[in-house]
Amino acid sequence: MRLFECGALVPGCDWHTRADNDAEIVRRTVEHLRQAHGESVIRENMIDNIKSRIVEETKAA
Ligand SMILES: [Zn+2]
């Protein structure tokens, strides 16, 4: 499972999302940035920033 925490991008934000692929994480995160942080224009480097902060979540069995 892939995990993205918004706090890695926007200090203080505790929103996070999980999905099984990065494309879905990016889609949800862009939506969150628009709604919660007023980012009306999502630039290409923002997408890169999101992707570089997605982590593989390892869960204990
Ligand atoms: Zn956020």
Q: How far is the CA of 5 from the centre of ligand 1 (A)?
A: 8
- Rounded to the nearest whole angstrom, what is the distance from the C-alpha of residue 26 to the centroid of ligand 1? 13
CA of 61 to the centre of ligand 1 (A): 29
Per-residue pLDDT band at 60 (split at 50, 70, 90): low
* Whole-number pLDDT of residue 59: 75
Position 58 scores a pLDDT of 85
**Rounded Cα gap, residues 42 and 26, in angstroms:** 11
- Strand 55-56 relative to strand 2-5, pairing: antiparallel
Going by the DSSP 8-state scheme, the letter that residue 46 receives in this structure is: H
Residues 6+ apart with CB under 8 A from 28: 17, 19
Ligand 1 geometric centre to CA of 31 (Å): 10
Element (H, E) at 35: helix 22-37
pLDDT per residue as tens digits for the range 4-46: 999 999 999 999 999 999 999 999 999 999 999 999 999 999 9
